[in-house]
């Protein structure tokens, strides 16, 4: 049985603009002298960001985690063109192609439960809802 392992962001959804805006705000609040903070941390996990920039400030860590949770709960998840699960034959409908080839798919993402719930909902559109569980 074919299997596909893929990154979530950039394949099915595009959260980069939303996270960039979030981290720009954090940078403005905590590092106003560094207007490039959001760019510098791009591609880093939350653990890496905390370890590098906030390890000595547990109050900031708690505040940032709280703000991030609120931000992610309010986020929208714009779909990447071509990732949709459609049968229209247009483009390279990624999820439909996985189904067509009876391929089990799984996504890797360093994201919150909000993103996991979204991903589960996307897979619910597939013919194999038993594979939609987003639990750990």
Residues 30-53 have pLDDT tens digits of 999 999 999 999 989 899 999 999
From residue 57, give the alpha-carbon distance in Å to each of 22, 23, 30, 94. 19, 17, 11, 43
Domain boundaries, the chain: 3-13+78-131, 16-74
Query: Poorest-confidence range of 31-35, 80-84, 100-104, 132-136?
Result: 132-136
HSE (CB half, 13 Å, CA atoms) of 101? 12
Phi, psi for 102 (deg, rounded to 5): 50, 50
- For position 112, what pLDDT does the model report? 62
Contact 81, 12 (CB under 8 A): no
Work out the average pLDDT over 94-121.
67
């Amino acid at each position: 049985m074919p299997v596909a392992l893929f990154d979530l962001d950039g394949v099915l959804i595009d959260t980069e603009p939303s996270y960039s805006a979030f981290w720009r705000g954090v940078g403005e609040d905590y590092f106003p002298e560094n207007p490039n903070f959001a760019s510098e941390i791009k591609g880093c996990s939350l653990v890496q960001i905390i370890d590098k920039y906030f390890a000595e400030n547990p109050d900031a860590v708690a505040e940032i985690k709280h703000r991030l949770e609120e931000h992610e709960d309010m986020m929208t998840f714009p779909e990447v063109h071509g990732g949709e699960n459609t049968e229209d034959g247009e483009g390279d409908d990624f999820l439909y192609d996985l189904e067509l080839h009876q391929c089990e798919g799984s996504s890797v993402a360093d994201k919150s439960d909000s993103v996991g719930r979204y991903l589960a909902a996307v897979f619910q559109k597939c013919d194999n809802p038993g594979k939609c569980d987003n639990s750990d």
